[in-house]
Chains A and B, each alone.
Chain A
């Protein structure tokens, strides 16, 4: 059904139904008690469709998508690992799914125990004192972590610390989160190998600096070898170190951010801890802190009494609340199941095997693709496009050609340090055969670029839709069905 292109509204017929509700046995007409002025004039034009039409429609839409279950997804910085099915099963259990967030703690001890266990496990895995699970996503975790940073300084009356240092290679969310948290961004330069230039950092460290945001390995997949020196310098200047957990996967089971000197970090449960990305969410971005920052974590927090009961706590020194309730509990259940499945034995292999896979691809392809930085990478690495620059084939062309061959594209044009960035992250769940297939196709595309460049430049040729007109979409935005109908006239 590749040709299916209906919108759900186009299936609508007046009077058609896709639901059944119980008959109204109440002898009341509640709505008549609401003044007519407070009621809407006309009913919303929602679709009127049958159940089977809904099922077919969305099943057809699903077939136009590419997921981890469809094929290899080497999207750099996104850690597209396999999402174990058992996690979906346990997270759907009605004993958890039907819990009201405000119900008495005595009647939700199982959920609170799970929540508390996950707080403890993440703390141990990260080498930090405590975690909040409230933040909903990575960027939300960054924002929460920066709020902790500011709350800490403000609690000491140190109100002039309003700057945060961010490397120019950082994920875009870092400076954006700093802006939302009311901090001024100061950029620190990267050395040619992508790591922070310590000499450039030193003069920036004064008493107006709240802290530094880093990811390690950095966005080029390279470990920041001078991390201990950087931590020492920042701490001596009175600042705190924030760890962007987007790149935690290669360190899982090997290195703990807390042991490198980081005071605050977030974890993307939807990256490192295998919960699905869901086509853009829901994710979960727990934030961990060192001992001296625990009191500032957002409310609510789950705690345990000495006699083993779990309860919901609201701390008085907390920075405030960043979520309506406890965060994306449904996502946490999946991450918890993942950690228990790995256990203390297998968790040790996650980072090392992710790193092995990345280095394997890198070494296998560097004859055809330009590797700007030599040496071992961690979970991901960056090529600066094709080695042969005479073909006219760009990184975008290569990415689109990969779609024709049944692979998802790498992350492209990020980081901004190179013009033709192509960021590849295979994750530990891919077999050698899959990696070999990908390597073969990448070589093939490089060959095509030399011999039949038109084919690569015009890609994709076999996908459900071809190159899209993004310029018109932005110039004359059509954002809903009404506007689409209007435009068709």
Chain B
């Protein structure tokens, strides 16, 4: 706050009042807060750094073998450097395109890259996270299907995503029905029966699912489309470098969480959510969308487009209430995908998949673990054990390792990324067997 006493005096004179308090003359006296705030005294940078260091030391750095929706992927050094350019991070939403071409172009590139990964025709500028993106996709399908108010969600989707979808549905008035699982995957026969009951606007299925299993959706799109419903696939965008795409499965919408595109774990955020869809659903898509155009001199340029869907124009008739996107995280994903590129993203998947299978094979070979499902997986998988996993995980923590997530009934879920070495995996297994 830069004002000197003279500045304040001169400014008050121009305004024609005696004190700054006079600028609050319209505020009832009884609501003016006169007590002291219950926050510490001002800290200098030295003190602030010390405080954060003290707090930071109360956190324990861990070698991570868990996923559950957040994965310890590698983040190239370049990204943090470029993201720290204040022309990017101190800008607002690009409402004035003439002085926001930087933001608008990287969003256009982000949309292009996500569309490459999903195979879909259009992608928006990003959502808050995967779970809220899935909730918005539910609304998209209900709005597109017209007069149908039920959305089927596979119970193999992450519980955290499902919880958010259900919360949004409860208040908005959409009926969410869970499709049962069978052998770790969506029970497609049960799904077909639920479609026959009618009123189904759409279906959301995940791949890889909450057990890390790559699901097989053969014929699913046809079944849903013949019941006049939409198919949405909740996908890990990193995995789409190698796995069959939502478009190849015949999906109408794809969504998911962008954290796997090298974003720091950061205790749960910021990440980003993405939504891609077919052209037919474009005008029901929530959020910002950037389009290419030309300026008055015919120069290539970018603008926010299709804004007639949005809250600032349509108010209560908008497709969503979302106003922002996770713009800087979209830049994160864009730079990540530029650096890794076509080959690198595949290599990330190969390394993670090989590491995961190496760990899986070792666990099974130990005789203490058995496969929970006989299904293909990429970087995350579930095994069963009689070991006291609480005890095992406590021991791992003492050794600076975050072990698998306990799913109940002796099921444990491990995740391996390209950052995990053979030695780390060997140590993990040895410690678990000793416990």
Name A114's closest neighbour in chain B (CB-CB).
B55
- A441 contacts B by Cβ under 8 Å: no
- B201 contacts A by Cβ under 8 Å: no
- A238 contacts B by Cβ under 8 Å: no
Interface residues in A251-309 by Cβ distance below 8 A to B read 253-256, 259-260, 276-283, 298-299
- A176 contacts B by Cβ under 8 Å: yes
Name B41's closest neighbour in chain A (CB-CB).
A343
Binds B, one of A23-31, A201-209, A384-392, A444-452: A23-31
| Contacts A172-B318, A228-B30 known; 6 new A-B pairs at CB < 8 A | A65-B102, A100-B70, A107-B60, A324-B257, A345-B42, A346-B42
Name B100's closest neighbour in chain A (CB-CB).
A65
Ranked nearest first, the 9 interchain pairs of A and B with the lowest CB-CB distance are A325-B268, A343-B42, A95-B56, A320-B167, A30-B353, A67-B90, A101-B268, A110-B58, A280-B327
Contacts of A322 in B (CB 8 A): 132, 164, 167-168
- Whether B91 and A66, one on each chain, are in contact in the complex, defined by CB atoms closer than 8 angstroms, is yes
The 8 Å CB contact of A480, one of B2, B112, B161, is B112
- A108 contacts B by Cβ under 8 Å: yes
- A360 contacts B by Cβ under 8 Å: yes
- B432 contacts A by Cβ under 8 Å: no
A432 and B244 CA atoms in complex are apart in Å by 59
- Whether B26 and A223, one on each chain, are in contact in the complex, defined by CB atoms closer than 8 angstroms, is yes
Contacts of A28 in B (CB 8 A): 354, 357-358, 361
- A239 contacts B by Cβ under 8 Å: no
A98 and B62 CA atoms in complex are apart in Å by 8
A142 → chain B, closest Cβ, in Å? 7
Name B10's closest neighbour in chain A (CB-CB).
A432
- Whether A139 and B37, one on each chain, are in contact in the complex, defined by CB atoms closer than 8 angstroms, is no
- Whether A24 and B339, one on each chain, are in contact in the complex, defined by CB atoms closer than 8 angstroms, is no
Contacts of B300 in A (CB 8 A): 5
A63 and B87 CA atoms in complex are apart in Å by 7
Contacts of B74 in A (CB 8 A): 21
- Whether B113 and A21, one on each chain, are in contact in the complex, defined by CB atoms closer than 8 angstroms, is no
- Whether B244 and A38, one on each chain, are in contact in the complex, defined by CB atoms closer than 8 angstroms, is yes
Q: Say whether, besides A44-B117, A121-B39, A185-B316, A127 and B33 are in contact (CB < 8 Å).
A: yes
Name A378's closest neighbour in chain B (CB-CB).
B23
Interface residues in B315-361 by Cβ distance below 8 A to A read 315-318, 320-329, 331, 334-335, 337-351, 353-358, 361
- Whether A356 and B48, one on each chain, are in contact in the complex, defined by CB atoms closer than 8 angstroms, is no
- B198 contacts A by Cβ under 8 Å: no
Number of interface residues of B (CB under 8 A): 206
Contacts of A40 in B (CB 8 A): 119, 240-245, 248
Interface residues in A88-141 by Cβ distance below 8 A to B read 88-90, 92-104, 106-111, 113-114, 120-121, 124-125, 127, 136-140
Q: Can you list, as one digit per residue, whether each of A43-80 has a CB less than 8 Å from chain B (1) or not (0)? A: 11111110100110111011111111110010100101
Name B54's closest neighbour in chain A (CB-CB).
A110
A322 and B2 CA atoms in complex are apart in Å by 39
Interface residues in B48-64 by Cβ distance below 8 A to A read 48-49, 51-62, 64
- Whether B31 and A260, one on each chain, are in contact in the complex, defined by CB atoms closer than 8 angstroms, is yes
Q: Can you list, as one digit per residue, whether each of B74-97 has a CB less than 8 Å from chain A (1) or not (0)? A: 101010111011111111111111
A-B contact pairs, 20 of them (CB 8 A): A17-B341, A17-B344, A24-B354, A30-B354, A47-B337, A96-B56, A107-B60, A136-B270, A146-B171, A225-B27, A228-B30, A254-B32, A255-B31, A319-B167, A330-B267, A344-B39, A409-B96, A431-B3, A477-B305, A481-B112
- Whether B266 and A139, one on each chain, are in contact in the complex, defined by CB atoms closer than 8 angstroms, is no
Q: Can you list, as one digit per residue, whether each of B128-143 has a CB less than 8 Å from chain A (1) or not (0)? A: 1111100000010000
- Whether B98 and A463, one on each chain, are in contact in the complex, defined by CB atoms closer than 8 angstroms, is yes
- B408 contacts A by Cβ under 8 Å: no
Contacts of B100 in A (CB 8 A): 64-66, 279
The 8 Å CB contact of B267, one of A96, A179, A346, A363, is A96
- B218 contacts A by Cβ under 8 Å: yes
Q: Say whether, besides A181-B171, A343-B41, A469 and B33 are in contact (CB < 8 Å).
A: no
Name B44's closest neighbour in chain A (CB-CB).
A341
Q: Say whether, besides A54-B78, A86-B45, A95-B61, A399 and B295 are in contact (CB < 8 Å).
A: no
- Whether A69 and B86, one on each chain, are in contact in the complex, defined by CB atoms closer than 8 angstroms, is yes
- B170 contacts A by Cβ under 8 Å: yes
A94 and B265 CA atoms in complex are apart in Å by 10
A335 and B98 CA atoms in complex are apart in Å by 30
A243 → chain B, closest Cβ, in Å? 12
The 8 Å CB contact of B102, one of A61, A278, A340, A353, is A61
The 8 Å CB contact of B8, one of A22, A27, A89, A356, is A356
- Whether A330 and B331, one on each chain, are in contact in the complex, defined by CB atoms closer than 8 angstroms, is no
- Whether A323 and B85, one on each chain, are in contact in the complex, defined by CB atoms closer than 8 angstroms, is no
- Whether B338 and A54, one on each chain, are in contact in the complex, defined by CB atoms closer than 8 angstroms, is yes
- A159 contacts B by Cβ under 8 Å: no
- Whether B327 and A281, one on each chain, are in contact in the complex, defined by CB atoms closer than 8 angstroms, is yes
A467 and B195 CA atoms in complex are apart in Å by 50
Contacts of B289 in A (CB 8 A): 477, 479
Contacts of A62 in B (CB 8 A): 82, 85, 87-88, 102
- Whether B295 and A466, one on each chain, are in contact in the complex, defined by CB atoms closer than 8 angstroms, is yes
- A190 contacts B by Cβ under 8 Å: no
Contacts of A466 in B (CB 8 A): 98, 295-297, 299
